[in-house]
Structure 1
Amino acid sequence: MTEVTDVIPQPQHATSQDAYFDLGPDTGLVADDGAGRTERWLRATLGAATGLPLAPATGGGEIRLSLDGGLATEGYRLDIAPTGVHLAGGGPAGLFWGAQTLRQLLGPDAFRRAPLPGRRWRLPAVRIQDAPRFGWRGLMLDVARHFMPKEGVLRYLDLMAAHKLNVLHFHLTDDQGWRVEIKRHPRLTEHGSWRSRTKFGHRASPLWEDKPHGGYYTQDDIREIVAYAADRHITVVPEIDVPGHSQAAIAAYPELGNADVVDTTALAVWDTWGISPNVLAPTDNTLRFYEGVFEELLELFPSEFVHIGGDECPKDQWRRSATAQARIEELALADEDGLQAWFIQHFDTWLAARGRRLIGWDEILEGGLAKGAAVSSWRGYAGGIAAARAGHDVVMCPEQQVYLDHRQHAGEDEPVPIGFVRTLEDVYRFEPVPAELTPKEAEHVIGTQANVWTEVMEDQQRVDYQTFPRLAAFAEVSWSALPAPDQRDFDAFERRMAAHYRRLDALGVAYRPPGGPLPWQRRPGVLGRPIDGPPPNK
């Protein structure tokens, strides 16, 4: 059993009394209309952990689930008394988030997959009323640099749900790999989904992993991931990066590249990190090709938003390409930056015509956007401020605060030290809404997300280490109505984390321990980025 003060993210309002509700073989789980999805999840999850049947019939008190239209859609109210439990949600999502709180209150062993002997299952008598601060509480997962098999993605959806996060930004393509099956363009996965070797460490490292790396999700895999996420009230937003970060696609289909200035037939999927100079050619053929990609993507992902990247597109090939220069002249553009803006605007219009909304990294602001487009502000706060002032919705994810590939400590044992030092406390003090915005402008900050770029994360354990425990701090920032950053009680959060580490242990999460990396979590001799160096590239 856990005290209400240990819940993460912290609820808005909670009162408790010195009493308990004990669960036993006769405890019932009863769902009113509209509560069936959470009922099935609770019975499967808590039933596995406790060994209790949680049958619909009652006899030893009951846990009742219902909907209450007077609550916020993602809000919930949890009443636990010695005689039973009533969990009400403003909508199905709110009910589900309330179930996550209920699970936490049962104690860390409620996060296991089978019952341990001698456990007593009891809930503290509390009344909690809670709702999230932001509607977009996201995690960006890069599966292009290092592929994460489907089971790993499903596991991360469960970890997101346990922290009340509701958007998976799925980074599916990059220079180093193409990860989603597109039936009309089979070479994208036949050739673009694997590379012959991989740089080990920062791109300046002399070390290589000399074996093929790759993998991709079939369309049925994607359907399964999307459905699994939807059952947990998580939206999956796909990202197909254009016109830069596209060498894997060009390696598969050389006609997509600037063939008049580089031998695109000689290109392979990139095996190192950084920003590839090989970008898409601004031709009608390229536009039609990617329209075909997005047509299949829209069938797989029902999300309102589709992410098109739009970041870090070097212009050197376009400057030297007669084809690109002819397009600039044809469109009466000022320069190559205008050409990139034209490319983004094309897909902005294309997606809007199909009832979807474009979202991209903050570079897309540089050429003007349709009214419905949104911006992921990664280069600090400036892009988000500019977007909000221009009337665009914003997801705040500044690299200086919430890039979880950045090192967590300055110690020499920190594995593959990349980027700035960003500790658990640094993430806890992150404020998504820039102080420079007026209240009206701040309404355009629809949420925030933490980004996990996987250049130096070769397997699931490395992803866990970089992501946790900082994702728990981020979850509280995105959900809870916290005071100003300098007024947040980090000491109290650390005390609650003592209980949360036990939950992560039960879930098998290979997080960074508070005292530093364990021996097998270190990567001695693997070059990172100097601690005072420039920020990393995506």
Structure 2
Amino acid sequence: MPAEGYRLEITPSSVTLDVADAAGEFYGRQTLRQLAGPSWFRSVPGGPSTVPCGVVVDHPRFAWRGCLLDVARHFRTKAEVLRFIDLLAAHKLNVLHLHLTDDQGWRIEIPEFPRLTSVGGWRTGSMVGRHDGPERDGRPHGGFYTLDDLREIVAYAGLRAVTVVPEIDIPGHARAAIAAYPELGPDPSAQWEVWTSWGISTSLLNTSESTVDFFKAVFDQLLEIFPSEMIGIGGDEVPGATAEHGLFVRKIIAHLESRGRRALCWDEVLEIPDLPKVTISSWRNSEAGAIAAAAGHDVVMCPEQHVYLDHRQSDHPDEPIPVGFVRTLEDVYAYDPALPGILGTQAQVWSEHLDTARRVDYAAFPRLSAFAEVAWSPVEGRDFAEFLPRLRDHHLPRLDALGVEYRPLDGPHPWQTRPGVPGRPI
């Protein structure tokens, strides 16, 4: 049967599971857990259950069924990441794209460069909401993962058929690294700080050979921890980038290839001349994915207009920190990557405005549940009117059992609102 597939047969006297591989076994067991009822999603499952007899033959539509979790803007503890992996696995999603570095924080220990975490791992405060003023909350924020933490995260995910794809963002979104080592930046004599704002910083890495060597060493450390074939290198939102920055990116791509890995890049890298074959995350629009595929690149579809789960879920004034497009549960369920030959699709959970695990729950669920069905099941016959009662009557009780503080279908609970915190709706 196809990769990750399984055949589950339930008779009055037995349950038989035939599988294509270890992932197929895991997913077959997840289906059996679904049939057994919500109590089987608790840490201590309920008593004996009655499950319906029948045969389930199943396999995923896409090989890459991912979700990005941004731990750079707001750090999530190791325990919170492990919990998020459990939630992905329960939805048969198989890639955790871990965004480890950005202007607002550096989250991975690199023993050769300790200031990346001692300096770059924390900031003096954060913008609350989204505005153009100088106001900050004045609350220090930080944290990072040790190498042993990350080894544990990778192993934990692997047992749940989830691949962790790390990302170190270059040559933009690098203010935290520049604050730690000013010689990496455009002006080594300047006093840099980890950024306390949201948006796009104009502070890019310089393109000297010493900076290239610095990041080769960083990525070498990364490769010792993460066995993923794909390694994220960013490449997005680089105002003022020069041809030398494009060459810098190509050198890192070549370095990863020399180590037997492949670069995962945001779609802006398509503007770099002589770009070698990479995997493109098509985020700006769906057209970027089509252009990448036509040029021979592998493609993961994750367009902002459809699958950015930090964007607001309605235009009601109670929606907390209303940023981005309105993307309802029905909108996410209606999305179809619809590009032949792509690796798959991915939802994004950016965390500028998600400062707690509770806020991540609210933004991600139940929209990520709808996205999981988009990524797994054929598009033929998909009907929101059929999906909604399944979600409401069967799946939301599973999320309740898992302790997920999802957004209710009719709007936020009072304690999920953020009155008076400005957003930036589109």
Tell me the distance in 1 between the aligned counterparts of 2:367 and 2:164. 21
Distance 2:322 2:257 in 1: 41
Give the unaligned 5+ runs of structure 2.
Answer: none
Q: Which of the pair has more CA radius of gyration?
A: 1
Q: Is the 8 A contact 2:8 2:56 kept in 1?
A: yes
Change (3 A) 1:207 1:415: farther
Partner of 1:153: 81
- Pick the aligned partner of 2:376 from 469, 479, 504: 479
Quote the RMSD (CA, aligned, Å): 1.3
User: Does residue 394 of structure 2 align to residue 497 of structure 1?
Assistant: no
Any idea what the Cα deviations from partners look like across 1:321-348, whole Å, max 9, x if unmatched? xxxxxxxxxxxxxxx5422221111111
Paired residue for 1:470, among 361, 367, 371?
367
Structure 2 CA distance for aligned equivalents of residues 115 and 170 of structure 1? 30
> 1:256 is matched with which residue?
184
1:522 partnered with 2:385: no
What secondary structure, in the 3-state scheme, does the structure 2 residue paired with 1:250 have?
helix
One of 323, 327, 331 as aligned partner of 1:418 = 323
Task: State how far apart, in whole Å, the 2-side matches of 1:127 and 1:369 are.
Answer: 51
Match of 2:154 in 1: 226
Q: Quick check: 1:207–1:526 contact (8 Å CA) kept in 2?
A: no
- Cα deviation for residue 189 of structure 1 reads 0.4
Q: After TM superposition, give the deviation of residue 115 of structure 1 in Å.
A: 4.6
Q: Aligned partners of 1:341, 1:226: CA distance in 2, in Å?
A: 31
Aligned position for 1:53: none
Alignment match, 1:395? 300
| Match of residue 288 from structure 2 | 383
Paired residues of 2:165 and 2:231 also in contact (CA < 8 A): yes
* Cα shift at 1:403: 0.3
Counterpart of 1:314? 239
Deviations 1:91-134 (A, max 9, x none): 11111111110100000111011255xx5411110200000010
Q: Could you say if the C-alpha distance between residues 137 and 115 of structure 1 is closer, same or farther in structure 2, counting changes exceeding 3 Å?
A: closer
> Would the aligned equivalents of 1:81 and 1:126 in 2 still touch at CA under 8 Å?
yes
What residue in structure 2 maps to residue 36 of structure 1? Answer: none
Counterpart position of 2:215? 290
Distance 1:131 1:369, change over 3 A: farther
User: Aligned to 2:52, which of 124, 134, 152?
Assistant: 124
Q: Is the 8 A contact 2:136 2:196 kept in 1?
A: no
Q: Is the 8 A contact 1:79 1:87 kept in 2?
A: yes
Match of 1:85 in 2: 15
Deviation at 1:206, TM superposition (A): 6.3
Q: Conserved in 2, the CA contact under 8 Å of 1:371 and 1:391? A: no
Structure 2 partner of 1:276: 201
Asked whether 1:513 is paired with 2:408, we answer yes
For the pair 1:350 / 2:245, whether they are aligned, the reply is no
Q: CA deviation at 1:258?
A: 1.0
Instruction: Work out the CA distance in 1 between the residues paired with 2:144 and 2:9.
Output: 45
Aligned: 1:102 with 2:27: no
How far does the alpha carbon of each residue in 1:32-66 deviate from its partner, in whole angstroms, 9 at most, with x for none? xxxxxxxxxxxxxxxxxxxxxxxxxxxxxxxxxxx
- What does the per-residue CA deviation read over 1:410-441, in whole Å, with 9 as the maximum and x for residues that have no partner? 1000000010000000000111124xxxxxxx
Where do residues 43-54 of structure 1 align in structure 2 (5 Å cutoff)? none
Matches within 5 A, 1:51-62: none
Q: Which of 109, 112, 121 lines up with 2:42 in the alignment? A: 112
Once the two structures are superposed, residues 457-500 of structure 1 have per-residue CA deviations (whole angstroms, 9 ceiling, x without a partner) of 010000000000000010000000122xxx63101100110110
Aligned length, in residue pairs? 425
Look up the SS of the partner of 1:517 in the other structure.
Answer: coil
CA contact (8 A) 1:72 1:91 kept: no
C-alpha displacement at 1:367, in angstroms?
1.0
Using the size of structure 1 for normalisation, the TM-score is 0.77
* DSSP-derived class of the 1:209 partner: coil
Residues 453-468 of structure 1 aligned to structure 2 (within 5 Å): 453-468=350-365
Shift of 1:202: 1.1
Q: State the secondary structure of the residue aligned to 1:493.
A: helix
CA distance in 2, matches of 1:97, 1:110: 15
Deviations 1:193-248 (Å, cap 9, x if unpaired)?
Answer: 00011111114366532211000000000000000011111111100000000000
| Aligned counterpart, 1:189 | 117
CA deviations on 1:288-341 (whole Å, 9 max, x unpaired) are: 1001100100000010011100011121xxxxxxxxxxxxxxxxxxxx542222
SS at match of 2:52: strand
Give the Cα–Cα distance (whole angstroms) in 2 for the partners of residues 384 and 143 of structure 1: 25
The answer (yes or no) to whether the contact 1:244–1:279 under 8 Å persists in 2 is: yes
Structure 1 residues 516 and 221, CA gap change in structure 2 (3 angstroms): same
Aligned equivalents of 2:60, 2:245: Cα separation in 1: 37
Query: What TM-score comes out, normalization by structure 2 length?
Result: 0.97
Q: Counterparts of 2:86 and 2:273 in 1: how far apart (Å)?
A: 37
**Residue identity in the other structure for 1:472:** S
Q: Partner letter of residue 112 of structure 1? A: R
How many Å apart are 1:371 and its aligned residue?
4.5
What residue identity is the alignment partner of 2:337?
P
Q: What 5-or-longer segments of structure 1 have no aligned partner?
A: 1-70, 316-335, 435-441, 534-538
Instruction: Give the counterpart letter for 2:7 in structure 1.
Output: R
